[in-house]
């Protein structure tokens, strides 16, 4: 049986996804500006456009994971405040998720430990998207002089 502290800790960790999302948004906006540079008369190349498109694509994927992480952060925070009625609230949550088509009916309900691991996996996916964006941004910065001369 999870404790209020363990559910709250998971919520706190999941809220770190907001910082990841802000960094990803900044990188996506820079990529968008670079991608639109030809409209302003700046020189560009196909390789630069491809790198910008990849940065934006990773940014959109990160946004997907960020949205899911944010929902889980709110749910874990709410459930940490309902620890005395966790069994009932969990059943209500599962029923609501099923009714909305967000979860299939399960014969064996998931434990909060499993839910925590799943939520943190979403946060990890979000972080991996940001790492990919950072690597591509660094590649773009390093190769930009070469791309502009060819």
Tell me the pLDDT tens digit for each residue of 77-112.
999 998 899 989 999 999 999 999 888 887 778 899
Helix, strand, coil share of the chain (percent; to 5): 85, 0, 15
pLDDT-derived band of residue 44, with 50, 70 and 90 as boundaries?
confident
The model's pTM is 0.88
pLDDT at 115 over 70: yes
CA distances from 129 to 55, 116, 142 (A): 10, 20, 20
pLDDT at 52 over 80: yes
Token readout for 146 is 């070469």
pLDDT-above-70 percentage for the chain = 97
Tell me the per-residue pLDDT of 12-35, one tens digit each, with 9 for 90 and over.
999 999 999 999 999 999 999 988
The string of DSSP letters for 7-58 reads HHHHHHHHHTHHHHHHHHHHHHHHHHHHHTGGGGT----HHHHHHHHHHHHH
Q: Is the distance from CB of 93 to CB of 102 less than 8 angstroms?
A: no
Token readout for 135 is 């690597």
Please give the average per-residue pLDDT across 52-64, as a whole number.
96
Tell me the per-residue pLDDT of 65-81, one tens digit each, with 9 for 90 and over.
999 999 999 999 999 99
């Amino acid at each position: 049986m999870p404790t209020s502290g363990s559910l709250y800790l998971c919520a706190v960790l999941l809220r770190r996804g907001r910082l990841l999302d802000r960094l990803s948004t900044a990188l996506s906006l820079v990529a968008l500006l670079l991608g639109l540079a030809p409209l302003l008369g700046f020189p560009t190349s196909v390789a630069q456009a491809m790198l910008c498109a990849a940065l934006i694509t990773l940014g959109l994927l990160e946004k997907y994971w960020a949205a899911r992480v944010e929902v889980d952060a709110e749910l874990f925070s709410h459930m940490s405040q309902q620890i005395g009625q966790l069994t009932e609230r969990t059943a209500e949550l599962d029923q609501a998720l099923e009714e909305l088509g967000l979860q299939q009916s399960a014969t064996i309900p998931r434990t909060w430990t499993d839910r925590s691991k799943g939520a943190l996996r979403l946060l990890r996916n979000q972080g991996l998207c940001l790492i990919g964006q950072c690597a591509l941004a660094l590649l773009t910065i390093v190769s930009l002089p070469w791309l502009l001369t060819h």
